[in-house]
Amino acid sequence: MRCLVIADIHSNLAALEAVLDDVERRGGVEEIWCLGDVVGYGPDPNECIRLLRQYKHICVAGNHDWGAIGRIDISDFNPDAASACRWTSRELGPGETQYLEGLPLTICREDFTLVHGSPREPIWEYLLSTSSARINFAYFKTNFCLVGHSHIPLMFESTGEGQCLLSGLPLNTPLNLEGRRLIINPGGVGQPRDGDPRASYAIYDSDEGAIYHYRIPYDIAVTQQRMAKRGLPLSLAERLSFGW
Ligand code: ZN
């Protein structure tokens, strides 16, 4: 089986469409595994949810998904993120709100645990350092954990004895999973933050026992124009050009 692994779409329809087209060119997938933050920041929350729902998929909740349905206090969000979150709440249709309300925090599928932030704290915790990742290896039972939230493609490998290593996710080459214990972030679809503005995603191939990481350019100007039209904060549109 082949699965598309995506995170942090953030209402960026142009980026999501580019990823789905690229996946088709690569032979398609049977299922989509989405790691949360389908909405927030971007201009097309309803359209992104509807497009995702056209596919066989599983999805966990992210902080922006919960922010948009009023399930968490967004006073911790920075002012631009909070303003986009309030706009998203107003914009969401009833069916789309209901969809977000039904998203679980954690899903276990095959040998993978799916969460948005971290297995210890699925909504809020960023996994960016070995000190936080090391602790989190004790919070899931499968060999692999897939996370989003930081919008940075990376992986942590448990080396036993409570230690772990941090490295980038290899691009276009197979990451062999056999015999390993890993936390993997496929990067962000709709708002990459590693200095590369191209949408980031991964494909898991269960027959090969490998994960592939890919980047694909999308029409950033289209998303920026839609954001301007909807009165979303300018800084949120500008950052897309820089992958930050
Ligand atoms: Zn996010």
pLDDT in tens, 205-240: 999 999 999 999 999 999 999 999 999 999 999 999
Reference 170, options 218, 202, 143, 207; nearest CA is 202
Centre of ligand 1 from the C-alpha of residue 64, in Å? 7
Residue of 207, 197, 203 lying closest to 171 (CA atoms): 203
What's the whole-number mean pLDDT along residues 35-54? 98
From ligand 1's centre to the CA of 27, what distance in Å? 27
Q: Model confidence over 157-205: pLDDT tens digits?
A: 999 888 999 999 999 999 999 999 999 999 999 999 999 999 999 999 9
For residue 150, the CA-to-ligand 1 centroid distance in Å is 7
Q: Is the pLDDT of residue 1 over 90?
A: yes
Dist. CA 151 → ligand 1 center (Å)? 6
Say yes or no to pLDDT of 76 above 90: no
Distance 35 CA to ligand 1 centre (A): 9
What is the rounded CA–CA span in Å between residue 139 and residue 118? 9
Residue 104 pLDDT grade (very low, low, confident, very high; cuts 50, 70, 90): very high
For residue 157, the CA-to-ligand 1 centroid distance in Å is 23
Question: Can you give the pLDDT at residue 244?
Answer: 92
The Å distance, Cα 163 to ligand 1 centre, comes to 27
CB 172 within 8 A of CB 212: yes
Average pLDDT over residues 9-36: 98
Rounded to the nearest angstrom, the distance between the alpha carbon of 8 and the centre of ligand 1 is 5
Q: In what order do the strands lie in the sheet with 112-114?
A: 107-109, 112-114, 144-146, 182-185, 154-160, 163-168
Q: Where are the domains of the chain?
A: 2-241
Question: pTM of the full predicted structure?
Answer: 0.97
Quote the ligand 1 centre to 161 CA distance (angstroms). 31
134-138 long-range contacts (CB < 8 A, ≥24 apart) are 134/158, 134/162, 134/163, 134/164, 136/183, 137/164, 137/181, 137/183
Q: What is the pLDDT of residues 123-168, one digit of tens each?
A: 999 999 999 999 999 999 999 999 999 999 999 999 988 899 999 9
Say how many Å lie between the CA of residue 65 and the centre of ligand 1.
Answer: 9
Q: Which fold has domain 2-241?
A: Purple Acid Phosphatase; chain A, domain 2 (3.60.21)
pLDDT of residue 162: 82
- 110 CA → ligand 1 middle, Å: 25
d(CA 186, CA 242): 18
